[in-house]
Chains A and B, each alone.
Chain A
Amino acid sequence: MKGIIENFDLFAPKLVDKEEFYASGHRACQGCGEALAIRLMAKALGKDTVVANATGCMEVTATPYPTTAWKLPWVHVAFPNAASVGAGVSAALKTLRKKGKIADRDIKVVSIGGDGGSLDIGFQAISGAMERGTNMIYIVYDNEAYMNTGIQRSSGTPYGASTTTRPAGKVSVGNTTWKKNAAEIMVAHRVPYVATACHSYPFDFMNKVKKARKVDGPAFIHCLAVCPTGWRVPSDACIKFGRLAVETGVFPLYEVENGKYSMSLEVPKKLRPIEDYIKPQGRFRHLKPDEIEIFKGMAMTEYNKVLERCKHSKPWSEMKS
């Protein structure tokens, strides 16, 4: 995997479909990781896909009427309901196909939303759709705050990040809690395919999307999406910070297939120092050494939890007896 990433320019034309389903010309910020991830997702999914989009950056920037960046059938209804809109589309396609009202072809429904629209306000709808076994992929593009409305804290915001509703101040460290572990909650919903991903590892992400597409049932991908605007980093550093998040163990990439956890990348003997990730980011600029230690402690607890699960978890099918 590492070799491919470093020689991306060499491999990309041969490994990635040239056809675009998410066109250029949308109004996302320069260096937007979320827009890149969606472009890759659309390529991985291909033509026979319907997208249900929660309100958020990706909806606002891609479809100001009468323009649209989408070359896939796309629907947006509101902020908290991408999962239930997608569930409705999925049900409709299933029954219309069965009744012969549309062509007899497998069309996948993918619901997408940001961390606010998914992990906070849309969480009930996701829980319902996943628990009911809806044939649908849900992908959360987590840029770790409500970026569309101006960098407010969400349950995806990590410890110590300064946001406009949890700002750093004389008596405030910024956000005081660690990110909601959405993947683990989805595993608890018995979702057969759950994965974390990041646009800075494009082949890994696209392979995960393709795997999710093959599931005849629910699948969930938690994709870290760097937001240069909200993270207060240069717009040309988007890919770099995605990779740093993974290399420092802050956002481990893994898959959970029918309950069995596995790391997506080779686990290094020694992780890169977390300071490499934190220090260049404006949102963490205020953190003092002791606060950085708290950040490390929280991040490593989560990281080690995943490692433990990779070692000891078994597929559900082995737990019957």
Chain B
Amino acid sequence: MAAAEAVALCRPDVIAAYPITPNTHIPEHLADIVAEGHLDCEYIAVESEHSALSACTGASAAGARVFTATSSQGLLYMYEIVPIVPSMRLPVIMCLGNRAISGPINIWNDHSDYMCVRDLGWIAMFSSNGQETIDMCIQAFKIGEHADVMLPVLVNLDGFQLTHVVEAMMMPDQEEVDKFLPPRKPYAALHPDNVVSMGTLGLPDIYCEAKKANDEALINSKKVILEVWKEWEQMFGRKYEPIMSYKADDADVLMLAMGSMGETAQVAIDRLRKEGFKAGLLDLKLYRPFPAEELKKALKGCKNLIVIDRAVMSGGPAAPFCAEVKSVMFDEPERPVITNQIIGLGGRDVRVEDFMKMFKDAAAAKPERAYEIFGVRG
């Protein structure tokens, strides 16, 4: 609900969304805000997620500020449209209440839904708590609509852990958000006064160039993301970086994670430090564009690293996040020993003690396998 309040502060013109657990109450609450007359916005209660993203794409092409939200199977149902949005350079802001994908059907949290779309051209952020979720929702509009970016943005928030969290938050007021986020100025919009054709056919003589241009746009968006985060910090006092750290400087074993699990890991780190075990955390906030340089810097001198994944890359060499980390570190002269733990699939609880065990195991011996599904039976 706080995410919905934050989105409403951004004054979206069009919202199109379809219900799915656990994100549903974000669009539900937005519908309430519209129904009560607090937000002047066209809310389209579409008949599917495919149409939700299609309607958002059309509305964004017409120059509107647009928002949608989904989870899991909903994201997979709109999958066809997901890569088209960035290829048309259209800002669409989407909250993804991260949920396991079927089957078996499961409504609880992991990151397997996001991992299906990580390579499709969207900017993607991961929030760790309610405060970060609302901050990122507002930042996302400014980043995505920026003239040097013009890309869709995904704000990942862990299903239930973050979609249904109750915590104290600092909600910016309307005046502050208006100051931070000016109205959208589209580069081109569907209007008879300035005729354009959008979404044209890319034959083999132009497709490669279109893909390269798209890739560069996403890579170059990092500059704007960092600028927007700096501006956010100046205005609201809360700092965002692609990789945040917790007691990482002198750590013997580092853990690299994203999403809400990082907060549990911090408690484990505090307990371990009381025992004299130097553990630390790197918390990834920006998944796309992947912060490779920041990661290399953060891992300088690190001898022992645990990479936490929340999804399986079936049949792959490692879990998805870890495979990317290993790829980034391959050319480095000094690389840490990397343990890949896949945890909390489909909402499986991961306790503080579990994180403590992961740290201790990593310190005791090199990993036997490329990845482990932590605590799995059989």
Measured CB to CB, the residues of A under 8 A from B are: 47-50, 52, 59-60, 63-66, 68, 70-78, 80-81, 83-89, 91-96, 98-99, 101-103, 107, 124-125, 127-129, 131-132
B59 on interface, CB distance cutoff 8 Å: yes
Neighbouring B residues of A52 by C-beta, 8 Å:
58
Neighbouring A residues of B201 by C-beta, 8 Å:
59-60, 63-65
B244 on interface, CB distance cutoff 8 Å: no
B197 on interface, CB distance cutoff 8 Å: yes
- A127 B197 Cβ-Cβ under 8 A: no
B278: min CB distance to chain A, Å? 52
One of B49-57, B139-147, B303-311, B363-371 contacting the partner: B49-57
- B192 A73 Cβ-Cβ under 8 A: yes
- A103 B14 Cβ-Cβ under 8 A: no
B289: min CB distance to chain A, Å? 24
Q: For the complex, count residues of B whose C-beta is within 8 A of A.
A: 48
Task: Give the nearest-CB partner of B16 in chain A.
Answer: A88
Task: Give the nearest-CB partner of B64 in chain A.
Answer: A92
Within 8 A of A (CB), among B15-54: 16, 40-42, 44-48, 50-52, 54
Residue of B13, B194, B200 with highest tally of chain A CB at under 10 A: B200
Neighbouring A residues of B191 by C-beta, 8 Å:
50, 73, 93, 102, 107
CA distance A101 to B183 in the complex (A): 10
- B63 A92 Cβ-Cβ under 8 A: yes
Neighbouring B residues of A65 by C-beta, 8 Å:
200-203, 206, 210
A114: min CB distance to chain B, Å? 15
B171 on interface, CB distance cutoff 8 Å: no
Instruction: Please give 9 more A-B residue pairs, beta carbons under 8 A apart, in addition to A87-B55, A92-B62, A132-B45.
Output: A65-B200, A73-B194, A75-B197, A80-B50, A84-B54, A85-B58, A94-B42, A95-B42, A107-B192
Neighbouring A residues of B57 by C-beta, 8 Å:
77, 85, 88
Task: Give the nearest-CB partner of A49 in chain B.
Answer: B192
A38: min CB distance to chain B, Å? 14
CA distance A130 to B372 in the complex (A): 50
B294 on interface, CB distance cutoff 8 Å: no
- B13 A125 Cβ-Cβ under 8 A: no
| 23 A-B pairs in the complex with CB atoms less than 8 angstroms apart | A60-B201, A68-B200, A72-B195, A73-B192, A73-B196, A75-B61, A77-B54, A77-B58, A77-B84, A78-B54, A78-B80, A78-B84, A81-B54, A84-B50, A88-B56, A88-B59, A91-B55, A94-B42, A96-B62, A107-B191, A125-B48, A125-B50, A128-B48
- B192 A47 Cβ-Cβ under 8 A: yes
B167 on interface, CB distance cutoff 8 Å: no
Neighbouring A residues of B206 by C-beta, 8 Å:
65-66
CA distance A47 to B210 in the complex (A): 30
- A88 B62 Cβ-Cβ under 8 A: yes
CA distance A80 to B57 in the complex (A): 14
- B193 A76 Cβ-Cβ under 8 A: no
- A91 B59 Cβ-Cβ under 8 A: yes
B190 on interface, CB distance cutoff 8 Å: yes
- A87 B51 Cβ-Cβ under 8 A: yes
CA distance A59 to B54 in the complex (A): 17
Measured CB to CB, the residues of B under 8 A from A are: 13-14, 16, 40-42, 44-48, 50-52, 54-64, 66, 80-81, 84, 88, 183, 189-203, 206, 210
Task: Give the nearest-CB partner of A111 in chain B.
Answer: B58
CA distance A71 to B147 in the complex (A): 26
Number of A-B residue pairs, CB cutoff 8 Å, is 168
Neighbouring B residues of A96 by C-beta, 8 Å:
13, 62-64
A48/B192 contact (C-beta < 8 A), A81-B54, A92-B64 known: yes
Task: Give the nearest-CB partner of B196 in chain A.
Answer: A73
Neighbouring B residues of A103 by C-beta, 8 Å:
193
Neighbouring A residues of B55 by C-beta, 8 Å:
84-85, 87-88, 91
Task: Give the nearest-CB partner of A47 in chain B.
Answer: B192
- B58 A88 Cβ-Cβ under 8 A: yes
A136: min CB distance to chain B, Å? 10
Across the interface, A74 reaches (CB within 8 A) one of B46, B198, B202, namely B198
CA distance A91 to B59 in the complex (A): 7
Neighbouring A residues of B196 by C-beta, 8 Å:
73-74
- B63 A102 Cβ-Cβ under 8 A: yes
Neighbouring A residues of B192 by C-beta, 8 Å:
47-50, 72-73, 107
Residue of A50, A89, A101, A131 with highest tally of chain B CB at under 10 A: A89
Task: Give the nearest-CB partner of A63 in chain B.
Answer: B200
Across the interface, B54 reaches (CB within 8 A) one of A74, A85, A95, A107, namely A85
- A124 B47 Cβ-Cβ under 8 A: yes
CA distance A93 to B64 in the complex (A): 8
CA distance A49 to B183 in the complex (A): 25
Task: Give the nearest-CB partner of A102 in chain B.
Answer: B191
Neighbouring A residues of B193 by C-beta, 8 Å:
103
Task: Give the nearest-CB partner of B87 in chain A.
Answer: A77
Task: Give the nearest-CB partner of A71 in chain B.
Answer: B195
Task: Give the nearest-CB partner of B185 in chain A.
Answer: A101
B150: min CB distance to chain A, Å? 16
Neighbouring A residues of B61 by C-beta, 8 Å:
75, 85, 88-89, 92
B80: min CB distance to chain A, Å? 6
A59: min CB distance to chain B, Å? 7
CA distance A88 to B190 in the complex (A): 11
Neighbouring B residues of A80 by C-beta, 8 Å:
50, 80
- A92 B195 Cβ-Cβ under 8 A: no
A84/B203 contact (C-beta < 8 A), A89-B61, A101-B63 known: no
Residue of A85, A88, A89 with highest tally of chain B CB at under 10 A: A88
- A75 B64 Cβ-Cβ under 8 A: no
- A64 B58 Cβ-Cβ under 8 A: no
CA distance A101 to B203 in the complex (A): 35
